[in-house]
Amino acid sequence: MTILDEIKPTRRQRLYDLVRDAGIDVSHWETTKGNSSSAASNPKYCYNWSFVRDDVVVLNLWHQEMEETEGVVRCALNPRETARQDTCVRVARAQQMDLALRQAKMAHLPIRVIINAGARKKASGNTSQVKHRLLDSVEWSVESYDTLTGHCTLARGKPQPVFIDQFTAWAEGFESPKKKTVTTEVTERCSKVRRQVLERANGYCEYCKSPGLNTPTGQIFLETHHVIPLSEGGPDKPDNVVALCPNHHREAHHGATQDSIRQQLLAHLKTIA
């Protein structure tokens, strides 16, 4: 069963309830005549595509517009383009959604997604019919937002760091090390140092300057390496750790050139200290 299958809504829930469950204040949905059932169908709100509070953004997305690759569910959308092509009230809803995406991107706000299933509007004239909906329990994040075009990609889950190394990759299950507990310990002890080094390397091997590998999740992979090994008393500090491409990492450990690589890396670390 794919993640997409798992998050497919199978029952009809009211938008009002889901928006409230996502943490948005819905008290103003109540009309002057107001009881809660009329609040839920208040046309001023109940057809909106996005809802914003200062610390959360709630978006309505279509299940059939989501895609799953390598275990990550994404949704690409461009409400600004929709606003350009559409008519009347939908323009305002689309513009509001574009603004919500921009706010989420700039303020790094978590996104709660209400997943809709049903008949999506195709041409102008007919309206979309939501058959089922649910509030996704997992937070989404903005993976990319093009301020020029309004094109946006949302990904299900917390935002991923751009640069990763072998420990992150293990932790995420790309490759499973035998001694899981040991790895976790090591990973936690120096994760801050590794992050600093990966940021400093900026995606390029600090030995040969060639770019790291692109991962299926859009991150850049390099391996972190202690120039003077911890076993030889080398410190676990950024001035003793480098980011290397996998080839040069192996060479630094096993190659006939390991001594010269070590000297060159030490010299390199001195120049950037």
Least separation, in Å, of the C-beta of 123 and Zn ion?
Answer: 53
CB 76 within 8 A of CB 22: no
Alpha carbons 155 and 66: distance in angstroms, whole number? 9
Which range in 113-121, 132-140, 166-174, 202-210 contacts Zn ion by CB under 5 A? 202-210
Query: How long a stretch of residues is the chain?
Result: 273
**Exposure pattern of 207-226 as b/e (b: 16+ CB <10 Å)?**
beeeebeebebebbbbbbbb
Could you give the string, one character per residue 205-224, with x where binding to Zn ion holds by CB under 5 A and - elsewhere? x-xx----------------
Asked if residue 248 binds Zn ion (CB under 5 A), the reply is yes
Contacts of 183 (CB under 8 A, 6+ apart): 167, 170, 171, 177
| DSSP string for residues in 73-106 | EEEEE-HHHHHHH--THHHHHHHHHHHHHHHHHH
Least separation, in Å, of the C-beta of 249 and Zn ion?
Answer: 5
Least separation, in Å, of the C-beta of 197 and Zn ion?
Answer: 12
Q: How far apart are the first and last CA of the chain?
A: 50
Of 127, 134, 100, nearest to 19 by C-alpha is 134
Q: Toward Zn ion, which CB reaches closer, 122 or 254?
A: 254
Q: Toward Zn ion, which CB reaches closer, 20 or 248?
A: 248
Of 218, 219, 172, 224, nearest to 201 by C-alpha is 224
Given 59, 243, 245, 261, the residue binding Zn ion (CB under 5 A):
245
Q: Toward Zn ion, which CB reaches closer, 79 or 212?
A: 212
Asked if residue 194 binds Zn ion (CB under 5 A), the reply is no
Q: Toward Zn ion, which CB reaches closer, 74 or 248?
A: 248
Least separation, in Å, of the C-beta of 87 and Zn ion?
Answer: 55
Q: What are phi and psi of 201, to 5 degrees?
A: -70, -25
- Mapped onto helix, strand or coil, the DSSP state of residue 127 is coil
Least separation, in Å, of the C-beta of 253 and Zn ion?
Answer: 6
Least separation, in Å, of the C-beta of 224 and Zn ion?
Answer: 8
Which range in 38-46, 116-124, 176-184, 242-250 contacts Zn ion by CB under 5 A? 242-250
Q: Toward Zn ion, which CB reaches closer, 194 or 248?
A: 248
Alpha carbons 237 and 192: distance in angstroms, whole number? 9
Q: Toward Zn ion, which CB reaches closer, 136 or 206?
A: 206
Given 29, 40, 225, 227, the residue binding Zn ion (CB under 5 A):
225
Which range in 190-198, 235-243, 246-254, 261-269 contacts Zn ion by CB under 5 A? 246-254
Asked if residue 265 binds Zn ion (CB under 5 A), the reply is no
Burial class for 233, CB neighbours closer than 10 Å (0-12, 13-18, 19+): exposed
Q: Which residues bind Zn ion (CB under 5 A)?
A: 205, 207-208, 225, 245, 248
